[in-house]
Amino acid sequence: MAPKKRKIRVAFKKNRGKKARAGHELREAIRQDDLDQLAAGERVSGKGQLTRHRTIIATEAEPGSKQDFIPDIEVDRDRCLSGRVLYIVGAHQCRVQIADGTVYVCAVRQVLRTLSQNSRNAVVAGDRVLFEPRDGLQGMILHVEPRSGILGRGVGRSQQLLVANVDLAVIIITAVEPHFKPNLIDRFLVSCEKGGVVPIICINKCDLADPENLLPVAGLYAELGYQTVLTSAANGFGIKQLARIIRDKQTVFSGQSGVGKSTLLNAIQPRLGLRVSHVSHDSGKGRHTTRTAILKRLDQGGWVVDTPGIRQLRLWDVLPEEVEGFFIEFRPFVRYCKFADCMHKEEQHCGIKKAVEDGLISQQRYTSYQKIITDDPEDD
């Protein structure tokens, strides 16, 4: 069955609108009966927001895609090459690699940048795109293929995509510095499930801590069904296990600055040559070494994306009422809540709070839940 097409109204960003003419200029032109001398390209009225909405034909996205619709922007596929975005350079340029390994420097077509689809970035690392080659190894991206497996966060009133078209997300924390943030892990877990990505929890730098101190954290998430691995890039512990997990997969490495994302990837494949840095001894925080998400091919098969470190993760498009569904251990106890709309905060006869009191739900996880529903990302 052919994909369904429908008309939709979309909003273009403000750079699509034209500057309104000053009122006194119009009045003066009318008085002198000299309207022909006015600049033809300028709007007379101030209804700029109305003129920025357009009706376009769109195709309904395929099941599993993370887009509601795909704008039918006319593209001559015979003149285009297909490639995958490796990383973004500046505001509107990126590196795109085609099947034979050739890398093109591509700009992004204006209409793709201006279509407002609740996203700060029209193109992101991992995207599969169609682009028209230009002189040399230059190109213009004309179309972004439907996405699946995305990881993103909310920034202001829009979504910032971190990566697209991945299978796994390795969420890296450390046994020592930078400081361990349970709430950040739980936000990543929600974001992964929302985006259709399988999370892997990796506790790095385990050579710097007593293994017995790591068991409560590793055990908590392992019991919930999340795959958990302990690693040390310094002595190689757990590196082979992590390499087996990501073999032949599309994987993103994410976490705070300084947790060792790039170091782990260099340990898995030394020829990657990713830049690394150290945690500041003064603040206990990681330094931003990776500045943009970078997609790399692995010799063992598959791709990995090294992302910049983040200190907080605000969820996007997740209602407070939905959050309980992302906490696996909450599900058996929700039925014991007296009220159907129970938010598990101050309500009486709450099955979730009773389970926390009885030790059936971790207090740490319950605290994370409370912070998420109040939209209070943990920060330094």
Looking up residue 129, the CATH number of its domain turns out to be 2.40.50.140
- Angle at which helices 182-195 and 363-373 cross, to 10°: 60
pLDDT, tens digit (0-9, with 9 covering 90-100), for 72-114: 566 788 899 999 999 998 767 899 999 999 999 999 987 777 6
164 and 133 housed in the same domain: no
Quick one: 197 exposed, middle or buried, by C-beta within 10 A (0-12, 13-18, 19+)? buried
The pairing of strands 138-144 and 103-108 is: parallel
Higher pLDDT, 128 or 7: 128
Q: What is the CA radius of gyration of the chain?
A: 25
The alpha carbon dihedral of 129, 291, 238, 272 has a sign of positive
Q: Is the pLDDT of residue 286 over 50?
A: no
DSSP assignment of 42-81: SBSSS-HHHHTEEEEEEEEPPTT-S-SEEE-----GGG-E
In a domain, 149, yes or no: no
Closest of 256, 166, 140, 246 to residue 203, by C-alpha? 256
Query: How high is the pLDDT of residue 233?
Result: 85
For residue 178, cis peptide bond before it (omega within 30 degrees of 0): yes
125 and 192 housed in the same domain: no
Rounded CA separation 292/91 (Å): 12
Quick one: 276 exposed, middle or buried, by C-beta within 10 A (0-12, 13-18, 19+)? middle
pLDDT, tens digit (0-9, with 9 covering 90-100), for 203-247: 998 888 887 888 888 999 999 999 999 999 888 999 999 999 999
Query: How high is the pLDDT of residue 100?
Result: 94
Higher pLDDT, 253 or 61: 253
107 and 19 housed in the same domain: no
In a domain, 212, yes or no: yes
221 and 300 housed in the same domain: yes
Q: Which two tokens stand for residue 6?
A: 């429908």
Q: Which of 86, 112, 144 is the last residue of a domain?
A: 144
29 pLDDT band, cuts 50/70/90, is low
219 and 332 housed in the same domain: no
Query: How high is the pLDDT of residue 176?
Result: 78
63 and 76 housed in the same domain: no
Rounded CA separation 114/273 (Å): 35
181 and 294 housed in the same domain: yes
Look up the domain containing 14 and give its range: 5-67
Q: Is the pLDDT of residue 380 over 50?
A: no
29 and 79 housed in the same domain: no
User: Letter for the amino acid at 248?
Assistant: D
Q: Which of 67, 82, 110 is the last residue of a domain?
A: 67
In a domain, 16, yes or no: yes
Q: Is the pLDDT of residue 169 over 80?
A: yes
DSSP 119: B
- Counting the structural domains of the chain, the total is 4
Report the alpha-carbon angle 43-41-33, nearest 5.
75
User: Letter for the amino acid at 254?
Assistant: S
Q: Which two tokens stand for residue 17?
A: 């609108």
Contact 172, 261 (CB under 8 A): yes
In a domain, 379, yes or no: no
267 and 360 housed in the same domain: no
263 and 338 housed in the same domain: no
In a domain, 348, yes or no: yes
Rounded CA separation 329/365 (Å): 9
90 and 217 housed in the same domain: no
In a domain, 151, yes or no: no
Q: Which of 144, 174, 199 is the last residue of a domain?
A: 144
342 and 226 housed in the same domain: no
**pTM to 2 decimal places:** 0.79
Query: How high is the pLDDT of residue 115?
Result: 63
Q: Is the pLDDT of residue 197 over 90?
A: yes
Contact 95, 51 (CB under 8 A): no
CATH number for position 344: 1.10.40.50
Q: Is the pLDDT of residue 330 over 50?
A: yes
pLDDT, tens digit (0-9, with 9 covering 90-100), for 129-164: 999 999 889 999 998 998 999 999 888 777 888 999
Rounded CA separation 268/300 (Å): 10
In a domain, 209, yes or no: yes
Contact 274, 266 (CB under 8 A): yes
In a domain, 311, yes or no: no
179: CB partners within 8 A, 6+ apart: 284, 380
